[in-house]
Structure 1
Amino acid sequence: MMTTLSGNTPSAKDTQTNKILVVDDEPNHLKTIQRIFMKSAYQLVFAENGKQALAMLPQFQPDLVILDVRMPEMDGHQLCRHIKNDPPQRGTMVLMLSACADLPERLAGYRALADDYLTKPFDADELRAKIRILLRLKNTQDELSALNHSLGKIVRMRTRELIKKDRQALLGTMLGGIVHNIRGPLTALQGNIEVADLLTRQILAKEEASVEEILETVEKISSLHQTVKRAIGQADEMLTNLLTRSRDGAKSNRREMDLNAVIREELDFFNTDRVLGKSIHKKLLLHPQLPPLMGNHTDFSQLIYNLVKNAADAMVAAPVRELTISTDLDDGHIILAFRDTGSGIPPEDIDKIFDLYFTTKSSDHHAAAVQPSGTGIGLYTCDQIVRAYGGTISVDSQPNQGTCFTIRIPHSSQAR
C-alpha cells in the first residue's frame, strides 16, 4: 500500500519530498513507523516482504529503504544486495532494522552494503535523526551527480558551438585549448567528488558514530559541493570566453580583481589533486598592498593553473619539491613569479618553450601518474594571455636547478 504523510513544516532538504520504502513482515512494526512519520513531509510506501518490495522499486524509486533483516522468502540482506547492485537503484540509502544487536549481525548488514543499522526496539528520535542524515547524504549525492552531468552537457554544447563558429585551420588549435584549459576545473571537480565519497564511506563504516560526527561530515560534504559548483562555473566561463575570444570582447569583460585572491582560490583547487595537494610544499609570498588588476578571472585562473601544473611536472623526480608563488610591485607593474625546484629547462629549449605544440613531455595522457604528459599548449596559452594584457613573461632556468617564470603586467592594462 502507498501512504503520503505530511504535516509539519519541512526542512530545506525535506521540501524535495523524499520517498521512503518501509519493508517489514510485522504489521505492528509498519504501523509504528507510520505513526512516527505521520506529521512528516516524506512520502512513504509500505511492503510486507522482500519480494513485494522488489516489485515496487522500479516504479516508486525511493530515496531511502528502511529494511527489516529477518523476513521469509527474501531476507533483508538479499534485498539490500539487490538494491545496491542494480545500477538504477544503487544510490538508494538503506537503513537496516534488526532485533539482534550482536556485532556479527551488524557486520553482516554492512557486508550487504547497508548504509546504516538500527536495533529494535529503537528510539523514535534516533530513527528520525538517522533518516534525516541519510537523506541529506542522498540529496547531496544526487546534486553532485547532477552537477557532473551538467558539466558534461556544457562541454558538449560549447564544443558544438565552437565547431559551428570556425571550421578553418584554427579549429584544431582551439579544440586542443579547450581540452587543455578545462583540465584544471575538471581536476577540482573529480578531486572534490572523490573526497566527498571517501568522507561518506568513512562515516558510514564507523560503527559508533555520533549524530554530531555525522552532521559534521555532512557539512564538509556540502562545502565540497560548493567547490564543485565553482569549478563547473569556471569551466563554463572558460569555454564561453574561448567562443568570444576577440580582443574587443575580452576587453569589455574585464573587471577589477584581486590577483592574490585568485592565486589562493586556484591553490584550493589544486589541493584536491593527489600529487599537488600532498607531495609538493607550496609557499606564498604575496604583496599585502597589491592594487586591483583589471582583468578577466578565467584568464588568470588559466595562467596560474598552467604554470603550477608545469612546475609540478618538472618536480616529479626532484628530491625537494617546493613551489614558491610571489606577487610584487615595480614601476607601475604587478609582478607574478613561479619558482620551482624541478629539473630545469635545457638551454637549447629555452627559446622554443612558448611555441605552440612544443613540448618535452610525453603526449600520452593515459601514462602513469609519475610520467608527465603534455600537448605544448599550456605555455603558449600563458604567453598569449600575458600579451593580451600588455605584459611580458620571461623564464630563468638551469638544468637540475629549477625554473622561475616571471610575469609583468601593467596595473591598468588594456587589451591590444
Structure 2
Amino acid sequence: MKKKTKILIVDDEPMNIFVFKDIFSNNKLYNCQYADNGEKAIEIFHIFVPDIIILDIMLPGIDGYEVCQKIRQDPKHKFVKIIMVSGKAMLDERLKGYDSGADDYIIKPFEQEELLAKIKVFSRLKYVEEIENSQANLLTLLSHETKTPMSGIMGAVELLMSEDLDPNHIDLLSIVHESTKQLLNFIEKISLYYRLTHDHKIQLENMDILSLINNVLDDLQSKISQKSIQINLQNRNDCNILADFYFLQIAVKNIIENAIKYSKDKGEIQIDIFQESGLCKIIISDQGPGISLEDQSDLFDAFCIKDIKHHHKGLGLSLATSQLILSLHNGCINIDSEPDKGASFCIQLPIYETNK
C-alpha cells in the first residue's frame, strides 16, 4: 500500500482553509493537518512530521518566514519541502522566503492543478533525496564497519604466511590474502566515491602531467612486469595543468590499470601526451578485447552491474570515480573502442598558462 504524503497547511484565513480542505479532503493520496498561526504550526510540525508544508507568509504571532527558519534549524528535517503562499510574491518577498529556507512559492489565488502538481513534484523529490541520503549513510557504515575487520584478517594471514607451513596451506592463505585485499580495495573505492560526491574540495597546484604519469607507472610497475607489457610513452608537448596531484593520480591510475587488466601478456599500451586547442590531452590505448557501443553507454555508471564479469575487472566504480575527479578539474574523459580492436581513453584537461 502506497504511503500517503503528509501535508501541514498553515493559514489564518478560514476561507483559505476551506479551499484547502475542499482540495484534499477526498484525495486518498494525502494526509493533511491544519494550523492557523505560526506557534501552532511548529507544535503540530514536531508531532505530525509532514513531508510538505504549505505555509502562508502573513500569520498572527510569528510569521511564515520565522516558522520556516525554525524548521530549517533542525538538520533532521532538511528534506521537508516548504511551499510559501503569498498574495503578492514580489521579488524581495520571494528572495526573503528562499533565504529563510522555502523551496517554492505559490501565489493566491492559485489554480488547484498547479498546487497538486507542485505537491507531486516535491513529494517525489523528497523521496529521492531521502533514498540518496540513506544510500550515502549505508556506504559510510559499510566502509567504517568492514575496514577494521578486513585489516585484521590481512594482518593475521600475513603473520601465518611468515611461518614454516605446508605449500598447500600457503596457497590457501594466499587466496584468502588476495581476496581480502580485493575487498579492502573495493571498500576504499566506495569511500573515495562517497567523498567526491559530497562536496569534497580539491587542492589545485601547478604541475607537469608527465611527472604525474611517470609516478603512476612506477606504482603499477609490478602489474606491468607480471604481464610483460610494453608501455610506449610519447610526450609531444610539455603540459602544465592546475590539479590536485593526489586525486588526479587516482583518476589516471584507474584508467591505466584498467588497460593493464584487459591487455594480453606481452601486449602493448600506448600513452600519448600532447596539447590541442588549449587542452592537455592524454590518450591511453590498449590492445584488449575492446568494448561494444552498447556497453560504452554504461561504462562510467558507478553502480551499473548488468555485466558483472566486466564490473569486477575494473569497469564501473573505478572509471566512474575517474570521470568524477576529472570533472572536478574541469576536464573530461572519452572512449573510442570497437570489439576486438582495443580501447582508447582520451583524458582532456585545461592547460595552465604560466605567463598569465
**Interval of TM-score (by shorter of Structure 1 and Structure 2):** 0.5 to 0.7
Distance in 1 (alpha carbons) for counterparts of 2:318 and 2:79: 37
In the alignment, what sits opposite 2:190? 182
Correspondent of 1:95 among 64, 83, 88: 83
The CA deviation string for residues 221-273 of structure 1, in whole angstroms up to 9 with x for no partner, is xxxxxxxxxxxxxxxxxxxxxxxxxxxxxxxxxxxx98435444233559xxx
In the alignment, what sits opposite 2:24? 37
Q: Measure how far apart 1:124 and its partner are.
A: 1.6
Distance in 2 (alpha carbons) for counterparts of 1:124 and 1:294: 48
In the alignment, what sits opposite 1:412? none
The CA deviation string for residues 25-79 of structure 1, in whole angstroms up to 9 with x for no partner, is 1222222201110122211111111111112222221111111111121000111
In the alignment, what sits opposite 2:157? 168
Aligned positions of 1:57-206 closer than 5 A:
57-159=45-147, 162-163=150-151, 165-166=153-154, 167-169=156-158, 177-182=185-190, 186=194, 190=198
Q: Does 1:46 align with 2:60?
A: no
The CA deviation string for residues 358-391 of structure 1, in whole angstroms up to 9 with x for no partner, is xxxxxxxxxxxx9xxxxxxxxxxxxxxxxxxxxx
**Which letter maps to 1:107?**
L
In the alignment, what sits opposite 1:27? 14
Q: Measure how far apart 1:297 and its partner are.
A: 2.3
Q: Measure how far apart 1:91 and its partner are.
A: 1.8
**Which letter maps to 1:35?**
D
In the alignment, what sits opposite 1:301? 315
Verify the 8 A CA contact 2:333 2:345 in the aligned structure 1: no
Distance in 2 (alpha carbons) for counterparts of 1:168 and 1:307: 30
Correspondent of 1:266 among 278, 299, 304: 299
Distance in 2 (alpha carbons) for counterparts of 1:307 and 1:337: 18
In the alignment, what sits opposite 2:261? none
Verify the 8 A CA contact 1:327 1:337 in the aligned structure 2: no
Q: Measure how far apart 1:138 and its partner are.
A: 1.2
Verify the 8 A CA contact 1:26 1:48 in the aligned structure 2: yes
Verify the 8 A CA contact 2:290 2:337 in the aligned structure 1: no
The CA deviation string for residues 190-240 of structure 1, in whole angstroms up to 9 with x for no partner, is 58xxxxxxxxxxxxxxxxxxxxxxxxxxxxxxxxxxxxxxxxxxxxxxxxx
In the alignment, what sits opposite 1:214? none
Q: Measure how far apart 1:16 and its partner are.
A: 2.3
Distance in 2 (alpha carbons) for counterparts of 1:80 and 1:303: 39
Distance in 2 (alpha carbons) for counterparts of 1:142 and 1:173: 32
Verify the 8 A CA contact 2:150 2:184 in the aligned structure 1: no
Q: Structure 1 258/28 Cα, relative in aligned 2: closer, same or farther at 3 Å? A: farther
**Which letter maps to 1:125?**
E
The CA deviation string for residues 308-363 of structure 1, in whole angstroms up to 9 with x for no partner, is 67x969xx8xxx9986654563xxxx744556689xxxxxxxxxxxxxxxxxxxxx
**Which letter maps to 1:300?**
G
Q: Structure 1 164/42 Cα, relative in aligned 2: closer, same or farther at 3 Å? A: farther
Verify the 8 A CA contact 2:9 2:35 in the aligned structure 1: yes
Verify the 8 A CA contact 2:54 2:85 in the aligned structure 1: yes
Q: Structure 1 75/340 Cα, relative in aligned 2: closer, same or farther at 3 Å? A: closer
Verify the 8 A CA contact 1:66 1:94 in the aligned structure 2: yes
**Which letter maps to 2:63?**
D
**Which letter maps to 1:22?**
I
Q: Measure how far apart 1:134 and its partner are.
A: 1.5
Verify the 8 A CA contact 1:184 1:305 in the aligned structure 2: no
SS of the residue 1:91 aligns to: coil
| Range with greater deviation from structure 2 (67-76 or 182-191) | 182-191
Aligned residues: 234
Q: Structure 1 265/46 Cα, relative in aligned 2: closer, same or farther at 3 Å? A: same
In the alignment, what sits opposite 2:165? none
Q: Structure 1 179/297 Cα, relative in aligned 2: closer, same or farther at 3 Å? A: closer
Q: Which runs of 5+ in 1 are unaligned?
A: 1-11, 192-256, 271-292, 343-369, 371-416
Same amino acid, percent of matched pairs = 26
Distance in 1 (alpha carbons) for counterparts of 2:30 and 2:317: 48
Q: Which runs of 5+ in 2 are unaligned?
A: 159-176, 200-288
In the alignment, what sits opposite 1:225? none
